[in-house]
Structure 1
């Protein structure tokens, strides 16, 4: 079972915007460009890069996607912070 993961994310307040961002990513948009433009998280300035983190470090819904979701595929996750577009890069 994976103990660490690395992911990119874009945090927005609106589900419709999050879904639009996923559609743009699926049509070839660059994650870092969208993160810098739309993310309300400080990581947006770094293209949404969260770096490597351990299992249980993130809120449960986010953690679940990072440790069970398909790699390199944009996922939509709702947390108390808002709507996240999450792209898991790897697990170790």
Structure 2
């Protein structure tokens, strides 16, 4: 079972906006560009880069998504902070 992961994320308030961002990614838009433009999280300035973190370090819904989603395939998840578009870079 993976103990750490690295991921990018874009945080927005509304599901519709998260779905729109996901659609743009599927059409080839760059994750980092969309993160800088739309993310309300301070990591948006860094292209949404969360770096490497341990299992259990993030809120439960986010943690579950990161440690179960396909690598490099963006997914949506809702947390108390809003809607996240998450792209897992790797797990160790």
Same fold (TM over 0.5): yes
Indicate the SS of the match to 2:67.
Answer: helix
Structure 2 Cα separation of the partners of residues 78 and 68 of structure 1:
15
Gaps of 5+ in 1: none
Gaps of 5+ in 2: none
Aligned to 1:51: 51
- Cα deviation 1:37-77 (Å, max 9, x = unaligned): 00000000000000000000000110011111101011000
Aligned to 2:15: 15
Could you say what the CA RMSD is over the residues aligned between the two structures, in angstroms? 0.3
User: What TM-score do the two structures reach when normalised by structure 1?
Assistant: 0.99
User: What TM-score do the two structures reach when normalised by structure 2?
Assistant: 0.99
- The structure 1 segments of at least 4 consecutive aligned residues displaced by more than 6 Å after TM superposition are none
